[in-house]
Structure 1
């Protein structure tokens, strides 16, 4: 079974038409039919069946497709990585992170440390927790930093930090001048408009706090960009909640950050990467740099 046949069965499942597969591969239709017959001869079973003008996979074909899809995906990723290497002589290391992780760790000193890794090209992909966890087994990313641990058995999983959620409000807001933050009523917060960062793990931590306080915050707007959250708070329009690891003086211009009332609501951040990384030492080095930045964020 060569790579052409691997690609062929993936495309048959996708298009369900021999002509469409032939067009995609840039070959003639009889060539596709020939390889389909050869595949069935090689495996000694029927892989394809014709129904209502479509080519469908048999049960054996679906089993083979499961593995073929993974091989095709990995080979495509290898092609892209090798093209990058040929183009600029640098190996490509792809990191995936949520907007929360990006704000918390991948800034300032981290970029200075990462720039010392001179023999690679760094690529950063942002997305939500679930999407990044889907990319990891596909080989599209080498390392992810998200708000939830991975459940994949073939991956390393490391808790980076555990931070309390902080209330953001305009610096001139009456609550910002309170000398005793514990006296702030959670019920009073429920009467004010909030803008929240789109982060499922952040939402889960906040839901737990709301349940403990028996309130529901009035969320008027959500966004996946922290700059919009901070801009709306600074303008005096909304309040918000973010993990303490995301707070630094550069971002909080005209914004006050105080602890949420009641019991601490904790937000956890995790790093995950495959056991079979193409460069285990490089992956470990990247994780170490993020750990160091995470330590600074909690001080």
Structure 2
């Protein structure tokens, strides 16, 4: 079944009318009906049924639709990247990056793009680990920067490119800045805890809390360090973040040592073992490690 038929299947599911599908594809309605019949012949099973004047996918049709989404998305992605290669005369990579990883990268390679036309053309996609992992599995990402630990699939290699201890962050006028004596974990429970909504940080925090024999109760969740930093400046809250994710000279903010043994937060890069341009992928990973 060619890509046109897969695309047609997606449109049938969306619009449920052969006339509208025909308009979207720039063809006549009988042509759509002809291809629908051919699809059922190719698969050897009924894919469509009519109910109240609408075309509804059968169970088999929904199964094919599930894979058609990936096939069409992959085809569109390939066409877009080939067009870019023709236009710019250089290869490109699509990099997935969790929000915390993006904050922690000291010198990502895509920052050099403005200085040199010899560099690859980078596309950076940010989001939550699970969504980015799905994109990597589907081939829509070339590599993924995350801190979520070992991948479930053996299709990928993982390399640690950065290690950073967790640290305590407060406003520069916070009472803890002026506290006498050594800071203990119990002192932190007196203040609102602003938590970074990042699974890798949460897992490291669970280890630290167990060692300290306490449990901090979050009063605010945020998925970006910048949001927490802005909230810290305006309150007497506390946040525990990877040191690397916060610039050393951040106005209005103070970094304090975390009581006890500060757990390490590790930033890793996941790369597929098989790739269309392994040399370019390896070059990018090496530059990330050196950065």
Q: Which residue of 1 aligns with 2:56?
A: 56
Q: State the aligned residue count.
A: 290
Secondary structure in 2 matching 1:56: strand
Secondary structure in 2 matching 1:42: helix
Is 1:286 paired with 2:284?
yes
Is 1:96 paired with 2:96?
yes
Deviations 1:182-228 (A, max 9, x none): x3222220111233333232223224433443433353333333233
Secondary structure in 2 matching 1:278: coil
Where do 5+ consecutive residues of structure 1 fail to align? 294-299
Task: Confirm or deny: 8 A CA contact 1:191 1:218 kept in the other structure.
Answer: no
Are residues 58 and 235 of structure 1, via their aligned partners in 2, closer, same or farther at CA, if it must alter by over 3 Å? Answer: closer
Q: Which residue of 1 aligns with 2:138?
A: 138
Q: Which residue of 1 aligns with 2:168?
A: 167
Secondary structure in 1 matching 2:219: strand
Where do 5+ consecutive residues of structure 2 fail to align? none
CA distance in 2, matches of 1:234, 1:283: 40
Secondary structure in 2 matching 1:122: strand
Moved more, 29-38 or 195-204: 195-204
CA distance in 1, matches of 2:7, 2:62: 14
Is 1:215 paired with 2:196?
no
CA distance in 2, matches of 1:262, 1:212: 8
Q: Which residue of 2 aligns with 1:297?
A: none
Deviations 1:152-199 (A, max 9, x none): 34333223344331111234544335686xx32222201112333332
Deviation at 1:78, TM superposition (A): 0.9
Moved more, 135-144 or 54-63: 54-63
Task: Confirm or deny: 8 A CA contact 2:191 2:236 kept in the other structure.
Answer: no
CA distance in 2, matches of 1:216, 1:91: 49
Q: Which residue of 2 aligns with 1:9?
A: 9
Q: Which residue of 2 aligns with 1:30?
A: 30
CA distance in 2, matches of 1:127, 1:106: 19
Task: Confirm or deny: 8 A CA contact 1:6 1:72 kept in the other structure.
Answer: yes
Q: Which residue of 2 aligns with 1:69?
A: 69
TM-score, scaled to structure 2: 0.84
CA distance in 2, matches of 1:106, 1:22: 51
Q: Which residue of 2 aligns with 1:268?
A: 266
Task: Confirm or deny: 8 A CA contact 2:22 2:28 kept in the other structure.
Answer: yes
Structure 1 segments (4+ residues) deviating >6 Å:
none
Deviation at 1:286, TM superposition (A): 1.2
Q: Which residue of 2 aligns with 1:79?
A: 79
Deviation at 1:27, TM superposition (A): 2.1
Moved more, 37-46 or 11-20: 11-20
TM-score, scaled to structure 1: 0.82
Q: Which residue of 1 aligns with 2:189?
A: 190
Moved more, 203-212 or 123-132: 203-212
Secondary structure in 2 matching 1:160: strand
Moved more, 164-173 or 100-109: 100-109
Deviation at 1:66, TM superposition (A): 3.8
